[in-house]
């Protein structure tokens, strides 16, 4: 088989982390296999995982071709008489219990993140949160976020801990077009599952609601949010020391203050129309402003974390860029920019499987010190070699004569 001498972990070893016992338990205790003669939950799992790695662009047709190929059947022990049609895959995606894939994803994340060492735990308690949108191209989606063009969108809100994707939510209702609605729901849903939720959530300018920040603080959710510049506030205390200016590289801290923020209070007039009246929120937050003199650029940050230095607040926010890199990886390497199913259930199944595939690939990448594209390419090569070995043995041959180990 392909032998990469610099590799510390192989795909075969990585596949051993897939929780087969959990899959069997879920098959017995959930409705994932109801009304299915061929595409049982486990077969669907491996079909999607294999197809995500082995195809440049996923579609229901490529899923059909993959399932019916001799290589896939050999690798996963399926009979040659087992056949499936694209229409059956489409129907299965729309009806199969998506919670089956969600539980497998959450179990694998918990297991992998439990292997982080103390340094990594301290480093990766920063949860980068952001959303990305995918539009359908066929105008056939029944439920989605409407656009002026007539097309519909689906929004995926992800949490990323710096190594692995820690949570994902799928939104297709119109109200989630605003990040003011989508991100708080995604964050609070993740907080529910955390035993101590001492993470710091790093959020871009899409979320500016003072009420949401106040709600986060009441629920002991720490955050750092990139604020819009020149936001109206009242300063109640300053942490700046005139005798000790904080500077690094081309940046300087020009404000580090305890502040109160304004919000819009909805008021209904006599005609029944809603307008908003400016109202001061009594809760105090921290405002950090840094300035780059060379670029004449300011960056404003709002947080409820008072223990960090102003530079740490800035540095922590800048790590948010990791999730942008992660989005690009998902779209370019794992087909997330293309909707295989136009049904919300099918979309959820594909997202959870993409997260599982991404976790395995990211661990493979990190352990073997590879780039994203190289890791994806080598995983595909190892998959094909595993198939070749099985076919050689099935034909009565000796794979050692083909592959040097």
pLDDT, tens digit, 9 for 90 and up, residues 36-76: 777 888 899 999 999 999 888 889 999 999 999 888 888 88
Beta-carbon neighbour count of residue 190 at 10 Å?
21
pTM confidence score: 0.89
| pLDDT score, position 98 | 93
Per-position DSSP letters for 211-248, written without gaps between them = HHHHHHHHTT-EEEEEEPTT--EEEEEE---TTS--EE
Distance separating alpha carbons of residues 30 and 284, to the nearest angstrom: 47
pLDDT in tens, 194-246: 766 679 999 999 999 999 999 999 999 999 999 999 899 999 999 998 888 88
How many Cβ atoms are within 10 Å of 118's Cβ, its own excluded?
7
Spatial contact of 129 and 158, defined as CB atoms under 8 Å apart: yes
For residue 155 the two structure tokens come to: 């929004």
**399-403, long-range: CB within 8 Å, 24+ apart, which pairs?**
399/1, 403/1, 403/2, 403/3
Residues 6 or more apart from 171 whose CB is under 8 A from it? 145, 154, 155, 156, 157, 182, 185
Q: What is the pLDDT of residues 350-372, one digit of tens each?
A: 999 999 999 999 999 988 999 99
DSSP string of 352-368, one letter each residue: HHHHHHHHHHHHHHHHH
The answer to whether 164 and 112 are in contact (CB under 8 A) is yes
Q: Provide the residue ranges of all domains of the chain, joining segments of one domain with +.
A: 11-100+341-401, 205-312
pLDDT band at 118 (very low <50, low <70, confident <90, very high): low
The tokens describing 30, both together, are 């959930």
């Amino acid at each position: 088989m392909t032998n990469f001498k610099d590799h510390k972990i192989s795909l075969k070893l990585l596949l051993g982390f897939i929780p087969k016992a959990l899959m069997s338990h879920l098959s017995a205790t959930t409705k994932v296999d109801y009304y299915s003669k061929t595409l049982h939950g486990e077969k669907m799992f491996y079909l999607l995982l294999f197809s995500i790695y082995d195809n440049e662009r996923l579609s229901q047709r490529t899923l059909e071709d993959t399932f019916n190929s001799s290589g896939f059947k050999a690798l996963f022990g399926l009979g040659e008489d087992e056949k499936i049609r694209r229409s059956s895959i489409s129907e299965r995606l729309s009806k199969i219990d998506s919670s089956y894939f969600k539980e497998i994803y959450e179990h694998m994340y918990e297991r992998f993140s439990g292997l982080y060492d103390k340094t990594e735990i301290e480093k990766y308690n920063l949860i980068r949160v952001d959303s990305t949108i995918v539009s359908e191209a066929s105008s056939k989606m029944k439920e989605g976020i409407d656009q002026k063009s007539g097309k519909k969108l689906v929004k995926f809100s992800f949490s990323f801990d710096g190594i692995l994707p820690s949570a994902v939510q799928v939104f297709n209702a119109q109200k989630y077009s605003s990040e003011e609605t989508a991100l708080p729901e995604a964050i609070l849903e993740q907080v529910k599952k955390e035993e101590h939720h001492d993470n710091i959530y790093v959020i871009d300018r899409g979320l500016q609601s003072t009420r949401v920040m106040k709600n986060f603080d009441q629920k002991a959710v720490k955050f750092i949010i990139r604020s819009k510049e020149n936001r109206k506030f009242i300063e109640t205390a300053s942490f700046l020391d005139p005798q000790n200016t904080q500077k690094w590289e081309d940046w300087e801290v020009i404000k580090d203050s305890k502040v109160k923020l304004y919000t819009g209070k909805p008021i209904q007039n006599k005609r029944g129309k809603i307008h908003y009246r400016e109202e001061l929120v009594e809760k105090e937050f921290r405002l950090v402003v840094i300035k780059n003199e060379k670029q004449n650029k300011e960056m404003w940050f709002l947080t409820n974390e008072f223990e960090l230095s102003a530079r740490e607040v800035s540095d922590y926010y800048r790590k948010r860029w990791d999730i942008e890199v992660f989005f690009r990886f998902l779209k370019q390497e794992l087909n997330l920019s293309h909707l295989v199913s136009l049904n919300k259930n099918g979309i959820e199944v594909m997202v959870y499987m993409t997260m599982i595939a991404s976790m395995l690939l990211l661990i493979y990448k990190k352990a073997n010190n590879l780039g994203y594209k190289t890791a994806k390419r080598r995983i595909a090569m190892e998959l094909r070699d595993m198939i070749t070995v099985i076919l050689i043995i099935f034909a009565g041959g000796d794979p050692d004569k083909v592959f040097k180990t």
